[in-house]
Amino acid sequence: MTNQFTGVIFDMDGTLVDSEIIWHIAEAEMFADRGIAYTDAIREHIIGMRLDEMFIKLTDIVGLTEPVHDLSMELQDRMLALIPAKVKAKPGAQEIIEYVAGLGIPYCIASSSPQSIIDATVVSQGWSDLIPHTYSADVVALGKPAPDIYLYAADQLSVDPAGCLALEDSPAGSRSAVAAGMTCYAVPDSHSDPAKFREITPHVYRDLFAVLEKLRQN
């Protein structure tokens, strides 16, 4: 592993924590308050996207008329209220983070979520000391599937993107990592069809334990 990759970048939602279902709850309640049925077909369009870009897309789909900033802040506040009690680590997350931390190479979180959501999630899992570097796509021009956040994270870690491993759970996130020139290991979350990764990355795993086993073999 130490010879194969010079840095590791973790996506967060759906990859390290089982938060996509919590996002779904927050989104569905928010839309229900507006009399909009939030279907799986609608949600499939926005998985893995940055909040502002997500609401721009949803405006086209369901006809939202409120300012994107206001919608983003409302959803962010709804999530912050749910994270401490509802968001749990994905199986194998603790183990793979500890393993990567022990390698002595740079690593971080690079997420589509706002920094406040990242911080609250990391604190809720007790990972503040274990994951000292976290980056939000809010600081770059374009969110996933554009490569911006992964390129930014690699730059912050002072590592060559070509030497980085990215761990993702969604097609949008995986496209972002691959577009940045990184190797992407995908662990499809329950919302993502594994078949959708075939044209993105050949590295698709059932869970983080399988990824950890692969890393230990390298």
Q: Could you name the CATH architecture of 20-86?
A: Orthogonal Bundle (1.10)
* pLDDT confidence band for 3 (50 / 70 / 90): low
Average pLDDT (183-197) is 89
By the 8 A CB rule, do 174 and 144 touch? Answer: no
pLDDT score of 137: 96
Q: How far is it between the farthest Cα atoms of the chain?
A: 54
CA-CA distance, 170 to 210, in Å (whole number)? 17
Would you say the CATH fold of 20-86 matches that of 7-18+88-217?
no
- Return the pLDDT at 133: 98
Domain 7-18+88-217: which CATH number of 3.30.413.10, 3.40.630.180, 3.40.50.1000, 1.10.10.60: 3.40.50.1000
Residue 182 has phi, psi (to 5 degrees) of: -95, 160
Cα angle vertex 203, ends 161, 123, to 5°?
65
Radius of gyration (C-alpha) of the chain in whole angstroms: 17
- How is the chain split into domains, by residue range? 7-18+88-217, 20-86
CB half-sphere exposure, 155, CA atoms < 13 A: 9
Mean pLDDT, all residues of the chain: 94
**By percentage, how much of the chain surpasses pLDDT 90?**
82
Band of residue 2 on the pLDDT scale cut at 50, 70, 90: very low
Q: With contact defined as beta carbons under 8 Å apart, do 212 and 96 qualify?
A: yes
